[in-house]
Structure 1
Amino acid sequence: MTTDLESRVSRKLMLRIIPFVMLLYFVSFLDRVNVGFAALTMNKAIGLSPTAFGFGGGLFFIGYFLFEVPSNLILHKVGARRWIARVMVSWGIVSLASAFVVGPNSFYALRFLLGVAEAGFFPGIILYLSLWFPTRQRAVAAAWFMAAAPISTAIGSPISGAIMKLPPIAGLADWQMLYILEALPAVVLGFFVLKYLTDTPSKAHWLAPEEREWLIAKLKTEADARQSHAGHTAGALSALRDPRVLALALIYFGTSAGLYTLGLWAPLIIRQYGFGSFETGLLAGIPSIVAVIAMILWARHSDRTEERTWHVVIPCALACLGFVFAGNAATALMIVLALVVVNVGISAAKAPLWAMPSMFLSGAGAAAGIAMINSIGNLGGFVGPFAIGWLKNVTGGYSAGLYVVGATLAVSAVVTLMLSRQSRQTPVAAGERHGH
């Protein structure tokens, strides 16, 4: 039974925290995947082959992988406000510098550095949400935050397409202007984070005293309940060794391979049907709008039923089928429909998946474990785009690469089922299944 006090706190948390972290992720995702639109003219201008573009596009995730866990542990120590601000300003500067790449090597270097600069942002926000939102709200809070990625594609794709139609300004080509214009908001928002973000509920002066006390007590009760379970992990090193963390990383690997294949290659796949830059942007944005709606509704259902496993398995299987469909598409309409299916599947899987780690991780263990899942999982963002580029060079088409990415999502679905079966055989099973 939801009390009046609980619904008041819930509403304040959603209004104060969620729109702002969505805006930050919107800008983050835009800076991460606008390389797909820059590629429309940049690849020819600086001499990038499909393999080189796929490799460079994916290098972002190597930098991200190496610095993710240290970054999140620093955030756990110094607080989200200062660390997220640092992350945003540094990635904005690197993203802006990408406008001045001159060939494959400088392209590789800047993509790697962008990953280093941005490491810790996404898992940092996931960790931050777990410090504020009680269990029953966690998947919906994560879903709204992560909805910023498909929204970024839906709104950002036409904007990026329009920027790519600009005439040269001050001797800068369209792709250079794209990098510069889309990097500036990250730097500005970085400074705004210092003013706006509150590190912990105990410092939330925007909550009334009784609201603040209720939230702190609720989160403490849930944390104590988790710690009483045999499978609870609080230490950073034990979290990194926990097989459940590695299993969740493998599941996330498939969803990341799918997401960034879309981000980097969808504009080029769509444009082969003869569309201009702006039309390509509009068509690339359509699947994302459908995905946002599916993502929120699916997360609500997952929170209401307190079920996570099938809420991850079904969307992963759907996305896998979507990639197979895309590999067989012969018309622009078929490719857009396939991309809708893929987008819906990948987006819907993410929130229930990210509600799982906080069922058995807390403290430094949560900081390290969430970062580990994200860093290993995001290597899918390297493998997916690279596989598409390499196999396009070898076969001359996109189909083989799309099938490979689809296979990674099939693996995600199978591993989720295996993890669920394993959990049922341990003392922590009941708590994990029901999110207590």
Structure 2
Amino acid sequence: MEESEVQKRTLRRISWRIIPFIMLLYFIAYIDRVNIGFASLTMNKDLGFTASMLGFGAGIFFWGYFLFEVPSNLVLHKVGARLWIARVMVTWGIISGAMAFVQGPTSFYVLRFLLGASEAGFFPGIILYLSYWFPARHRAGVTALFMGAAPISTALGSPISAALLEMNGVLGLAGWQWLFIIEAIPALILGVVVFFYMTDKPEQATWLKDDERNWLVSAMNAEVASKAAEAEHSFIRGMADKRVIALALIYFGTSAGLYTLGIWAPQIIKQLGMSSMMVGFLNAIPPTVSVVAMFFWSRHSDRTGERTWHVILACLLASAGLVIAGNASGVVGLIAALTLVNVGISCAKPPLWSMPTMFLSGAAAATGIATINSIGNLGGFAGPAMIGWIKDKTGSFTGGLYFVAALLVFSAVLTLLLARSQNRKDAVACAQAAGD
């Protein structure tokens, strides 16, 4: 479809206004979620943590996320992104900084749970927010840019986190304590900025020209109206739709892969005898490659309109990378394998997140997206926790990496089954329409 001049101009203006800012927010959010991976390089010894303790504590974040995700997204839908995202960021910044004062396993588990609870609603809230501003056919590419902040935060944050560990002894604090304190500060600052910078809905966008605002409001209203006959709108439908549950289970595998990388990649690289600083630089290589791959993969998904195989192939690539990583014995082989995992995980997520708003809108979209994210992110508990437990039992990361690889194969298979089920449903609907 040929885009008009006002359409191009509007999309360009809202893209520059919204995307870099939400990328910055997610950049900080992801650092605060996974900086425990770098902190553990010295914190584990200081506090006497085993691999199982680290894996469980890192993963319990997602139980807080799970319990508060749907309520948080519903509040955002009611009060607006500006107020709620600001609240989320300030709260998580305070708790993230408090991680510096962990004394043992119990305080570690409690603060990680509270961090998850405080951050609940941020990610699905942004996904929902994007559905207010960008037409569906542009959403995978936009989502990819937003989600590109996760690998970018690893690429840039790894050397920074490693450098902060070198502050050991400054003012009597350990390096890992400085890491938590300093990396919490941006969330607090940006929480205030969000309140004054964000615009809740296109109707309120005074920074758009009149013709741009009118086109955008009309386009988004028309899209909602076109889905009205078939899209689900209610709170209950958003939680109970079988497609939502299937997407949540698919997302479970991709989350297990993502947070396996975020939490354990520094430890996996460190076991090859690297210094913390070298770990920081090596850990930055795979996500750097994945950012580029994600951009082109999601653009291809938007251009073709195809989502299913873009998810399946990416999941299988990540699974293969985990198997290879479990058998890698040298630095080059390990980094190459982790690059495959990063590329696969990063490429799977944008087309996956373009699916729910194709059949949900209104309150159902808010609850559906939050349900997918909250259930799916429990993979962020299962992956890291199982790797830690298996590492303590076997002395190796291999078994845990195989476990996460199997979860990604399950995600790929379930994606195929969901697509076939939806195709059958569409065929029946077309046949009924023809009969009428």
Please, what TM-score do these two structures have when normalized by structure 2? 0.97
> For 1:390-415, what per-residue CA distance to the aligned partner results, in whole angstroms no more than 9, with x for missing partners?
00111110000000000000000000
Give the match for residue 420 of structure 1.
419
Matches within 5 A, 1:342-357: 342-357=341-356
> For 1:296-353, what per-residue CA distance to the aligned partner results, in whole angstroms no more than 9, with x for missing partners?
1111000000111011000001001111111111111111000000000000000000
Give the match for residue 194 of structure 1.
195
- On the 8 A contact 2:325/2:333 being kept in 1, the answer is yes
Give the match for residue 323 of structure 2.
324
Aligned partner of 1:17: which letter?
I
When residues 293 and 104 of structure 1 are mapped into structure 2, their CA distance, relative to the original with a 3 A threshold, is same
Give the match for residue 434 of structure 1.
none
How many corresponding residue pairs?
429
- On the 8 A contact 1:166/1:174 being kept in 2, the answer is yes
Matches within 5 A, 1:42-81: 42-81=43-82
CA displacement at 1:429 relative to structure 2? 8.8
CA displacement at 1:167 relative to structure 2? 3.4
Matches within 5 A, 1:360-371: 360-371=359-370
Matches of 2:213 and 2:154 in 1, distance apart? 36
Matches of 1:8 and 1:429 in 2, distance apart? 40
- On the 8 A contact 2:168/2:176 being kept in 1, the answer is no
When residues 317 and 94 of structure 1 are mapped into structure 2, their CA distance, relative to the original with a 3 A threshold, is same
CA displacement at 1:13 relative to structure 2? 1.2
CA displacement at 1:425 relative to structure 2? 1.2
> For 1:269-293, what per-residue CA distance to the aligned partner results, in whole angstroms no more than 9, with x for missing partners?
0011111111101111100000000
Where 1:425 maps in the other structure, the secondary structure is helix
Give the match for residue 382 of structure 1.
381
Quote the sequence identity (%). 59
Aligned partner of 1:245: which letter?
V
CA displacement at 1:428 relative to structure 2? 8.3
Matches of 1:275 and 1:392 in 2, distance apart? 19
Where 1:131 maps in the other structure, the secondary structure is helix
Give the match for residue 4 of structure 1.
5
Where 2:313 maps in the other structure, the secondary structure is helix
Give the match for residue 26 of structure 1.
27
When residues 80 and 384 of structure 1 are mapped into structure 2, their CA distance, relative to the original with a 3 A threshold, is same
When residues 137 and 429 of structure 1 are mapped into structure 2, their CA distance, relative to the original with a 3 A threshold, is farther
Matches of 2:428 and 2:151 in 1, distance apart? 33
CA displacement at 1:220 relative to structure 2? 1.1
Give the match for residue 119 of structure 1.
120
1:396 maps onto 2:395 in alignment: yes
1:269 maps onto 2:268 in alignment: yes
- On the 8 A contact 2:69/2:120 being kept in 1, the answer is yes
Q: Which runs of 4+ in 1 moved over 6 A?
A: 428-431
Matches of 1:361 and 1:288 in 2, distance apart? 31
- On the 8 A contact 1:270/1:280 being kept in 2, the answer is yes
> For 1:341-391, what per-residue CA distance to the aligned partner results, in whole angstroms no more than 9, with x for missing partners?
000000000000000000000000000000000000000000000010000
Matches within 5 A, 1:303-314: 303-314=302-313
Matches of 1:427 and 1:414 in 2, distance apart? 20
Matches within 5 A, 1:32-43: 32-43=33-44
- On the 8 A contact 2:238/2:366 being kept in 1, the answer is no
RMSD (CA atoms) = 1.1
Give the match for residue 243 of structure 1.
242
Aligned partner of 1:152: which letter?
S
Give the match for residue 163 of structure 1.
164
- On the 8 A contact 1:423/1:429 being kept in 2, the answer is no
Aligned partner of 1:407: which letter?
A
Aligned partner of 1:398: which letter?
F
Aligned partner of 1:340: which letter?
T
Aligned partner of 1:133: which letter?
F
CA displacement at 1:427 relative to structure 2? 3.5
Matches of 1:352 and 1:13 in 2, distance apart? 21
Matches of 1:278 and 1:44 in 2, distance apart? 17
Gap runs ≥5 in structure 2: 431-436
Matches of 2:240 and 2:132 in 1, distance apart? 23
- On the 8 A contact 2:250/2:415 being kept in 1, the answer is yes
CA displacement at 1:223 relative to structure 2? 1.1
CA displacement at 1:62 relative to structure 2? 0.4
- On the 8 A contact 2:311/2:352 being kept in 1, the answer is yes
Matches of 1:429 and 1:111 in 2, distance apart? 47
Matches of 2:371 and 2:377 in 1, distance apart? 10
Matches of 2:284 and 2:63 in 1, distance apart? 27
- On the 8 A contact 1:246/1:373 being kept in 2, the answer is yes
Matches within 5 A, 1:173-252: 173-229=174-230, 232-252=231-251
Aligned partner of 1:157: which letter?
S
- On the 8 A contact 1:424/1:430 being kept in 2, the answer is no
Aligned partner of 1:66: which letter?
L
Give the match for residue 101 of structure 2.
100
Give the match for residue 433 of structure 2.
none
Aligned partner of 1:322: which letter?
G
- On the 8 A contact 2:236/2:364 being kept in 1, the answer is yes
CA displacement at 1:168 relative to structure 2? 1.3
Please, what TM-score do these two structures have when normalized by structure 1? 0.97
CA displacement at 1:228 relative to structure 2? 2.3
CA displacement at 1:136 relative to structure 2? 1.5
Aligned partner of 2:327: which letter?
N
Where 2:329 maps in the other structure, the secondary structure is coil
Where 1:2 maps in the other structure, the secondary structure is coil
Matches of 1:145 and 1:167 in 2, distance apart? 34
Aligned partner of 1:257: which letter?
A
Where 2:284 maps in the other structure, the secondary structure is helix
Give the match for residue 256 of structure 1.
255
